[in-house]
Amino acid sequence: MKAQCQPEHIVRVLDELRLFKTPYEIACIREANRLSIAGHQAAQAAFIGASGELDIQLAYLAASRQRESNVPYQNIIGLNDHAGVLHYQHYDLNAPKQRYSLLVDAGRRFRGYCADITRTYAGPDAPAVFGELVSAMHDLKEELVRGIAPG
């Protein structure tokens, strides 16, 4: 049945067309990421301000200018041990007494193109070695991004 619905030669041609983005597609992806970054910055600020998971989620949605029903996938906002639960979805209402870490896996859709950004933040109560690890990973990511260019 699948072969009838998705003929291999047509799927291959469509996949090849998706390899290269038009200026319009690049602009849409850029805007989706710009809006998502605003959400991630608001989530981090809410975490620093000692908010709970639900309030962090709401801060993300407000700053990224979207309703929860419009996100490209269900956001993951996990504090402390919740950050280690695969596909965590519960959003505690209250902030924990101690803030070790925040995981934000959240995106934004713009005209059918999606941003998908995941970030981990060390909290004020995290062991120093964890903060250093997160900082080193951020620095490595920045170095890799600087090396990316069209073509």
Summarize pLDDT for 67-90 with one digit per residue, the tens.
999 999 999 999 999 998 988 989
On the question of pLDDT at 15 being above 60, the answer is yes
On the question of pLDDT at 2 being above 70, the answer is no
On the question of pLDDT at 151 being above 80, the answer is no
Write down the pTM of the prediction. 0.85
Please check whether residue 104 is in contact with residue 97, taking contact to mean a CB–CB distance below 8 angstroms: no
On the question of pLDDT at 56 being above 60, the answer is yes
The lowest-confidence range among 2-6, 50-54, 89-93, 127-131 is 2-6
Report the alpha-carbon distance of residue 12 to residue 78 in Å, rounded: 38
Please check whether residue 77 is in contact with residue 60, taking contact to mean a CB–CB distance below 8 angstroms: yes
On the question of pLDDT at 23 being above 90, the answer is yes
Left if phi > 0, otherwise alpha if psi is -120 to 50, otherwise beta: which for 108?
beta
Average pLDDT, the chain: 93
- What the chain holds in terms of domains, given with CATH numbers, is 22-146 (3.90.230.10)
pLDDT tens by residue, 114-141: 999 999 999 999 999 999 999 999 999 9
